[in-house]
Amino acid sequence: MPRDARCLAGVATLAYGCYNGAVAVFPAKGVVALADKVRIGFIGVGGIAHGHVQRLKARPDVQIVAITDTSKESIARIRDRQGLGPEVAEFSDYRDMLAKVEMDGVVIASPHTVHFEQSMACLEKGIHVLTEKPMVCTQDHAKKLLAKAEEKGKILMISYQRHYFPEFGYIKQRIEEGALGKLTFVSALQGQDWLRGCRGTWRHTMELSGGGQLNDSGSHLVDIILWVTGLQAAEVFSFIENFDVPVDINSATSIRFTNGAL
C-alpha cells in the first residue's frame, strides 16, 4: 500500500479512537518493518493526547516518532504513562520537530487558538494533519487551511469521532433512506459543567481556547447534527451565558436550514 494511503489509515484511526471503548483495534499478526510504518508526530501531549497514543501504539503499521509540548511536565507524564521510550524524540517547540524529524502525519492536540498556525506549518511541509476540535477559531482560518490542504494534496481531518459510532451511522443511513420522511425539525441537547469543570484551566482563557463550551465540546453536537442529516445552515442565532468568566458556559442555538427545517 502506498505510504500516503497507509498514512490515511493510520491518521483516521485516531479520529474514532478518542474515547475508551469507542473502537476496538486488533493489530495484525507478525512484525511490520520500520520502513513500512506510518510515522506520526504529536503537537501537544496533554490529556486528550493519551487516548490517541494508546490506540496508535496498538497498530503494528504506525510508529510514533516525536512529541512536542511547551510543558515539560506533560511530556514527562505521557512518556511515563504511555511507555514512550527514548526512540521518540521530544521538543519544546513544534517548529523544531517539523524541521528535524521526518513524519507522514501529525496529531495536533494543543489549545485551539494555535491550531491554525500549527496545521498550516504541517501542511506546508507536506504532512497529513489530524487536529483536535475545533479545527480553528475563525472562518477565514478554516478557508485558508482547506485551500492549503487541497493545494498540497494532503489530508486535513478533525477529530469528530462520532462519525464512527454505529448508532450515529444508523441514524444517518435511515435518514438517507427516507425512513423518517422529510426532516422539518431537529432537537439536540448536551449537558456539561463548563463553569466548574474547566475552572483554572486554559479552556477559560479566551486567548488560548478561542471560546467556551459551544466552540469546544459543543461543536461535537453541531457536527453530528450536520453529518447525520446532511442539512446545511442558512441562518444561525445563539444566546450565550458566561457567568462572569471570559468564555461562554451555556448556550441556546437556533438554526434555519436551507431546506426550511429548524
Spell out the per-residue pLDDT of the chain, length 262, in tens.
455 555 554 454 444 443 333 332 233 344 445 568 999 999 999 999 999 999 999 999 999 999 999 999 999 999 999 999 999 999 999 999 999 999 999 999 999 999 999 999 999 999 999 999 999 999 999 999 999 999 999 999 999 999 999 999 999 999 999 999 999 999 999 999 999 999 999 999 999 999 999 999 999 999 999 999 999 999 999 999 999 999 999 999 999 999 999 9
Report the predicted TM-score, pTM, of the whole model to 2 decimal places. 0.86
Half-sphere exposure of 188 (CA within 13 A, CB side): 17
Q: CB of 9 within 8 A of CB of 60?
A: no
Residue 30: which domain range? 3-161
For 223, the grid coordinates are 457536527
pLDDT recorded at residue 26: 30
Whether 224 and 245 map to the same domain: the answer is yes
| Structural domain contains residue 92 | yes
pLDDT recorded at residue 35: 63
pLDDT recorded at residue 106: 98
Whether 149 and 170 map to the same domain: the answer is no
| Structural domain contains residue 262 | no
End position of a domain, from candidates 161, 187, 217: 161
CA distance 112 to 207: 9
pLDDT tens figures, 128-144? 999 999 999 999 999 99
Whether 152 and 173 map to the same domain: the answer is no
CA 1 to chain centre: 25
Whether 20 and 113 map to the same domain: the answer is yes
Whether 37 and 155 map to the same domain: the answer is yes
Whether 179 and 152 map to the same domain: the answer is no
Closest to 103 in 3D by CA, of 126, 84, 82: 126
Instruction: For the chain, list the strands marked E by DSSP.
Output: 38-43, 62-68, 89-91, 105-108, 128-131, 156-158, 233-241, 250-257
